[in-house]
Structure 1
């Protein structure tokens, strides 16, 4: 039997005689439930199409309790609050601003502290939405990693009027109202192979989260971090950079694209990756930057031998290529 869930669109394939909640949990879904005997009503769902057996009765519409309902044919249910494996619930929080300092290159490091109580849940590499006065919410990668607990970190480039206004808002109010987590470019599970992290500008925030998560979890495979900017002065201070340089499996590369002649490396990020890594077949790539930069990187690395399915970037979700 197949049970399709709305609004998520998930399709559950249940075994004969299996109850809906039982099957959903077997398949790795996190479902609202409590008593599992139909008394608490926490697992209630609305039967949109199909037939189920519940308490000896056959039902073809209306409310049912997934802990005791058994499908008799393919069904469609309206069932809120069901999360797939690795998916986390979105929460809205009012956080205090614990730090808002300029760290170079017109970038501000913003640190927020979430309220005490229910622990924060997000995956390394995800992002949040922050409310702005008189404007739409803005998305920022979480530079912090989950082991940081209540403390969240953002890297905000304040050159455009909108981002300058956000920094002024945070300094003025001392509070930030946020929603999190979002994004599927994350490390819910550490890969069994080398990582290549590619960041343009403040895309470094997302890579900062991934590096700190790997460090906290004892990741043993090589991690190659490529950080690119247009001019050398666009690099900004990373608090843990000196510590990162001492890690035996972390290799740090700074690349400048528009101004050759500085003491470091020049060129495009994908060029640096291809120069350094001869075999891209076994690496897992995470990239953060503009859509043009990410797709140019994808094309170049695929041509150099990377499996396209091993590259992750938020751009693929919010700016899909036609």
Structure 2
């Protein structure tokens, strides 16, 4: 039996004779439930279409309790609070400001601490929304990894008045109001095979989270990080960089796209995809994550696909918030 859920649009394929809640939990969904015998009403849903049997009574509409309801045909339910496997609930937190420090390249490292007893829940690679003084919100990648507990880290480029005002507001308040988590470009499950991480500027924040999560989880496959900026002075100081350099399966590749003669840069030059193609004649086994502007991400995607990569190997939040026209 197929159970379709509103307002999420999720669907469940139940086994014959299986109760709705039992089937949802078997499939890995997180559902509101408590007593499992129809008395507490926590698992209540509204039957919009279809037919179910509940404690010996057949229902074709109205409220049902998913812990005891058995579908007799395909059904449409209005059931709030159901989360797909790996999905986390959105939460709003008022976090204490721990540090707001300039780290070079007009970037600030913002460190926050969530309230005691309310550790933030997110997957490595997701992002959050910071609340401005006027109540609007700005999105920033979470640079910390889930094992950091109550600690949250952000890398914020402050070159415009709006971002500078946001940081000044947080300093004055001594706290930051955040909402999280967002984004499906994450590592809820570690892949089998090497990772290729591509970051432009503060896109490194997302990759920082992915790398720290891999380290904590004992990820055994190689991880290749390509970090690109326009001029070398745009690289900012990362406290873990020297420690990363000592990791046997972590390979770091800083790349400058537009160095000037007086920069003193003797490292790699060019675009990120050029460096990747020079290092990897075969891209087939790589799991690719990219973070940067839409132009950077789509330009990199096109270049790597032309070099033999399957487009389905690359993940980026840009694909969701700035999709290409059909």
TM range (shorter): over 0.9
Alpha-carbon distance in 2 for matches of 1:254, 1:57: 66
Matched, 1:277 2:250: no
Contact residue 118 and residue 150 of structure 2 kept, 8 A: no
Counterpart residue number, 1:244: 244
Counterpart residue number, 2:184: 184
Residue by residue, what CA displacement relative to the aligned partner does 1:62-94 show, whole Å, maximum 9, x if unpaired? 111000011111111111111111111111110
Alpha-carbon distance in 1 for matches of 2:47, 2:131: 36
Aligned residues: 322
SS at match of 1:170: helix
Contact residue 38 and residue 67 of structure 2 kept, 8 A: yes
Stretches of 4+ moved more than 2 A in 1? none
Counterpart residue number, 1:311: 314
TM-score, normalising length: structure 2: 0.97
Q: Which runs of 5+ in 2 are unaligned?
A: none
Counterpart residue number, 2:84: 84
Residue by residue, what CA displacement relative to the aligned partner does 1:110-130 show, whole Å, maximum 9, x if unpaired? 000000114321110000011
What is the aligned counterpart of 1:300 among 297, 303, 314? 303
Alpha-carbon distance in 2 for matches of 1:181, 1:320: 20
Counterpart residue number, 2:292: 289
TM-score, normalising length: structure 1: 0.98
Residue by residue, what CA displacement relative to the aligned partner does 1:177-200 show, whole Å, maximum 9, x if unpaired? 111111111011111100000000
Alpha-carbon distance in 2 for matches of 1:280, 1:134: 46
Counterpart residue number, 1:71: 71
Counterpart residue number, 2:12: 12
Contact residue 282 and residue 308 of structure 2 kept, 8 A: yes
SS at match of 2:45: strand
Alpha-carbon distance in 2 for matches of 1:300, 1:260: 25
Contact residue 197 and residue 224 of structure 2 kept, 8 A: yes
Q: Which runs of 5+ in 1 are unaligned?
A: none
